[in-house]
């Protein structure tokens, strides 16, 4: 008789979403607030669904059923009332799946929306050899004891780690541990409940993506990087000065325009303004306004750089291509880079100036005008949040 194949492991999940989330400064409990286009709780629940966990129980606050149903619409979840403390909510969630008789259970905080599948896999693998497993990260900062506002003895950070969720357990053991807990239900997490019951809890590698949303700044949706593009054209005319990248170049023809017609700077201004969704050069310096007649384009570029800083960004790098048959840009390239770096208050290494021709084709090929295209990359100045990279 052939051996009977082992039954597949059944793994359930309890998602703790019953807190008030007041510190996050949102108009509703943070777990139901929008973050990166979705309610916070939906992110991790979707990850659990993808991992094949079932049933998935979500513990919610009293009176929040409508918000929770909206946030999790279409997902295979069970909503149950949470308790007065996190530990009470977890206990309720564990009790709610007893009839499903799962082998394993993952217990996760809804406030940790980004849940990598690799973490789930590591946790389930660890449960083959241990009754419990939790994801942790190393402590990278020095630690010291606070003694009445003064620095006390340093702590050994090598012996410490940062604990995350989900925390994984063999279901019967963690249910028994919660039922056998004595005293107030104020355990910081389920690993403490398991440890109090004598269960060994393995440490597996966590992930920085599992950052917990706690404060209003965690809901700052400003992207850490923004990119803008710009393009401009000016015709060549006799009797005009030729300005490119803030540098005057001797040539038989110059560029005609309302200002000094520095086509390269104009393209770069549009790239910077576009990166912060602030319109284009024509909106900020209308050609119909006589005050800009013959004006130096340096003014426009400094203005765009100032607007970038006001939006909380710094210039990462800019890349500019000048399209013309003549004059030759190569002999002036380094002077142009230096001038743009000066105007933008960046290192010259952050400025690229290139040139190309159209092989005699089109208006630039016929030497009727010069075109320029630019790309600007902006980086968020405030990188203090752990979730910002």
Cα(381)–Cα(389) distance, integer angstroms? 11
Secondary structure of the chain: what % helix, strand, coil (to 5)? Answer: 35, 25, 40
Residue found under tokens 């017609």: 261
Rounded distance between C-alpha atoms, residue 76 and residue 271, angstroms: 45
**Which structural domains are found in the chain, ordered by start?**
11-217 (3.90.550.10), 225-380 (3.30.1330.50)
Looking at residue 332, the DSSP 8-state letter turns out to be G
Per-residue confidence (pLDDT) for residue 186, from 0 to 100: 94
Measure the CA–CA gap between 237 and 259, rounded to whole angstroms.
Answer: 14
Say how far residue 211 (Cα) sits from the centre of its chain: 11
Alpha-carbon distance 56 to 89, whole Å?
Answer: 14
Q: How far apart, in whole angstroms, are the C-alpha atoms of residue 262 and residue 269?
A: 11
Structural tokens at position 375? 């790309």
**Tokens for 207?**
């992930």
Residues 6 or more apart from 158 whose CB is under 8 A from it? Answer: none
pLDDT at 296: 95
* CA 195 to chain CA centroid, nearest Å: 35
Q: Tokens 């999940």 map to which residue?
A: 13
pLDDT for the residue 217: 79
**Cα–Cα distance between 326 and 308 in angstroms, integer?**
33
**116 Cα distance to chain centroid:** 15
pLDDT at res. 389: 32
Q: Which of 215, 156, 181 is nearest to 384 (CA)?
A: 215
Tell me phi and psi for residue 322, to 5 degrees. Answer: -100, 130
Residue 384 is predicted with a pLDDT of: 37
> What are the backbone angles phi and psi of residue 238, rounded to the nearest 5°?
-70, 150
Q: Report the alpha-carbon distance of residue 318 to residue 340 in Å, rounded.
A: 9
Dihedral sign from CA coordinates of 67, 72, 73, 77: negative
Asked whether 53 and 144 are in contact (CB, 8 A), the reply is no
Between helices 333-344 and 263-275, what is the axis angle to 10°? 40
Quote the tokens at residue 56: 């998935």
359 vs 101: CA distance, rounded Å: 74
The Cα–Cα gap between 344 and 264 comes to 14
Q: How far apart are CA 93 and CA 165, in angstroms?
A: 16
Query: Is the peptide bond preceding residue 166 cis, with omega within 30 degrees of 0?
Result: yes
Residue-wise pLDDT tens for the chain (389 aa)? 456 556 688 999 999 999 876 655 566 889 999 988 899 999 999 999 999 999 999 999 999 999 999 999 999 999 999 999 999 999 999 999 999 999 999 999 999 999 999 999 999 999 999 999 999 999 999 988 899 999 988 888 888 999 999 999 999 999 999 999 999 999 999 999 999 999 999 999 999 999 999 888 788 767 789 999 999 999 999 999 999 999 999 999 999 998 999 999 999 999 999 999 999 999 999 988 999 999 999 999 999 999 999 888 999 999 999 999 999 999 999 999 999 999 999 999 999 999 999 999 999 999 999 999 999 999 987 543 333 33
Q: Are strands 369-380 and 225-237 parallel, antiparallel or unpaired?
A: antiparallel
Burial 208-245 (b: 16+ CB within 10 A, else e): eebbebeeeebbeeeeeebebebebbbebeeebebbbb
What are the residue ranges of helices labelled H in the chain? 40-50, 65-71, 86-96, 117-126, 171-179, 190-196, 263-275, 281-284, 297-310, 333-344, 362-365
């Amino acid at each position: 008789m052939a051996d009977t194949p082992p039954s597949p492991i059944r793994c359930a999940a309890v998602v703790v979403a019953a807190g008030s989330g007041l510190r996050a400064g949102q108009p509703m409990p943070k777990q139901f607030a929008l973050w990166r286009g979705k309610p916070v709780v939906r992110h991790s629940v979707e990850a659990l669904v993808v991992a094949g966990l079932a049933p998935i129980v979500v513990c919610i606050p009293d009176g929040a059923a409508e918000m929770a149903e909206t946030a999790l619409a279409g997902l295979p979840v069970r909503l149950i009332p949470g308790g007065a403390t996190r530990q009470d909510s977890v206990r309720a969630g564990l009790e709610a799946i007893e009839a499903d008789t799962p082998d394993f259970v993952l217990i996760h905080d809804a406030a940790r929306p980004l849940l990598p599948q690799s973490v789930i896999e590591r946790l389930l693998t660890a449960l083959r050899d241990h009754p419990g497993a939790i994801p942790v990260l190393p402590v990278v900062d020095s630690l010291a004891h606070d003694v009445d506002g003064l620095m006390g003895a340093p702590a050994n950070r090598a012996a410490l780690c940062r604990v995350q969720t989900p925390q994984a357990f063999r279901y019967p053991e963690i249910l028994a541990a919660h039922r056998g807990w004595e005293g107030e239900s104020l355990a910081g997490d389920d690993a403490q409940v398991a440890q109090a019951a004598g269960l060994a809890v393995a440490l597996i590698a966590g992930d920085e993506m599992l950052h917990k949303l706690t404060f209003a700044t965690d809901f700052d949706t400003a992207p850490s990087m923004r990119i803008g593009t710009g393009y401009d054209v000016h015709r060549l005319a006799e009797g005009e000065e030729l300005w490119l990248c803030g540098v005057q170049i001797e040539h038989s023809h110059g560029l005609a325009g309302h200002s000094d017609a520095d086509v390269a700077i104009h393209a770069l201004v549009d790239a910077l303004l576009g990166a912060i969704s602030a319109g284009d050069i024509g909106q900020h310096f209308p050609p119909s306004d006589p005050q800009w007649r013959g004006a130096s384009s340096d003014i426009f570029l400094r203005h765009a750089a100032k607007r970038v800083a006001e939006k909380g960004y710094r210039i990462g790098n800019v890349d500019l291509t000048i399209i013309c048959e003549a004059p030759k840009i190569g002999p002036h390239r380094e002077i142009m880079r230096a001038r743009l770096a000066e105007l933008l208050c960046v290192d010259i290494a952050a400025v690229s100036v290139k040139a190309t021709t159209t092989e005699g084709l089109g208006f630039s090929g016929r030497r009727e005008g010069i075109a320029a295209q630019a790309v600007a990359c902006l980086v968020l100045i405030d990188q203090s949040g752990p979730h910002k990279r």
